[in-house]
Chains A and B, each alone.
Chain A
Amino acid sequence: MHVTTAKTAFRIGLIDALPFILVVVPFALLFGVLAADAQLSLAQTFGFSFTVFAGASQFAAVQLITDAAPLGIVVATALAVNLRNAMYSAALTPWLGDGTRLQRACIAYVLVDQNYALAVQRFERDPDWSPPVRRAYYFGTIALIYPLWLIATMAGAVVGTTIPAWLALDFALPICFLALIGPMLRSPAHLAAAATSIALALALSGLPYGTGLLLAAAAAMAVGARVELWQDRRVRAAA
């Protein structure tokens, strides 16, 4: 039987994650640019990418800081964007849940959309991997992404303010978010949640400081969950 060593697994992880560099580097560059635009210092921009390490929530926070939203709303919205990480954490626990507390803390610290997706696919394909081999693979998937995320953020922050207006960089953030949303719309439940989110966010945009967005997000999550239940019932009734 072929046995995969931890070292090999780390390398496989590294290679599996290579295509994501194409996504992560431009995304991080753009974050740096927008953070500079929002008058964040270099240290603050670095602090964001270093401690938060979650692109969409960083963009959301910087957008709200630009809009002069109060602190509590900035934090609440960014965390709402990151709620899905709790779901990833749940999905990875059967595979990566049995290390030391420090190992699990490190796994959690670098958990993002990309390595979650890679790891779950790989572990389901190779279920006989031992826990240390699985951990090695997981850390392999993030070993390049995380440093590149930091470097590209800083590069973006340094060139940020020198970018000319005709580049219409104001619209880079909406395009970035829409490009994230498009591939997520894979089921009627996801579509219903997205439609609810848009309709309510627009209808409630008069409410102060982004509270409308939080209400819209809560309602949209409930709608998504509800539609999923209906669908499950219909599938089961048909079977």
Chain B
Amino acid sequence: MTDTQIWIAIAAIGAGTFLLRFSFLGLIGDREMPPSVLRHLRYAAVAVLPGLVAPLVLWPQATGGAPDAARLLAAAATLAIGWWRGSFLWGMAGGAVTLYAVLALETLL
């Protein structure tokens, strides 16, 4: 992307995100929304992020797209620990420790 395109992307994402946040507070107010709209919105984050991350885990750029034990294990640990503790920080920490531990083992062996 050119510099100008990146600036356009920033402006568009910023404006769009503001409109999403302002939608009910500023525009729609307390008027009733169809429950099905809210039901879909509840799953927005969990519908986008896993699909975004899955190819990065299975086919990491650092290995030229070949599946890699350290990264697969780190991903599994992050997800499992984050789920188990219900905490972003615990997930991050567990994933980082696993990644470095397996990478270090691989260098030693």
- Where the two chains meet, the residues of A that have a C-beta atom closer than 8 Å to any C-beta of B are 22-23, 26, 40-41, 44, 47-48, 51-54, 56-57, 60-61, 63, 65, 68, 71, 74-75, 77-90, 92-94, 96-97, 101, 104-105, 107-109, 111, 166, 168, 170-171, 173-185, 189-190, 193-198, 200-202, 205, 213, 216-225, 228-229
Contact = CB atoms under 8 A, between A and B. Distances in A.
A174 B57 contact: yes
B51 A93 contact: no
6 contacts: A78-B13, A80-B48, A181-B46, A185-B46, A197-B49, A201-B52
Contact of B30 (A93, A170, A184, A205): A93
Contact of B17 (A57, A74, A170, A202): A57
A59 to B, nearest CB: 9
Interface string B79-106: 1111111111111100110011001000
B37 to A, nearest CB: 9
B25 A93 contact: yes
Contacts of A57: 13, 17
Contact of B14 (A52, A185, A194, A229): A52
Interface of B: 1, 3, 5-18, 20-26, 28-30, 33, 36, 38-58, 60-62, 70-71, 74-75, 78-92, 95-96, 99-100, 103
A214 B37 CA distance: 18
Contacts, number: 287
A87 B38 CA distance: 6
Q: Which of A57, A68, A176, A177 has the most CB of B within 10 A?
A: A177
Interface of A is mostly: helix
Contacts of A52: 10, 13-14, 17
B50 A87 contact: no
B83 A185 contact: yes
Nearest to A182: B82
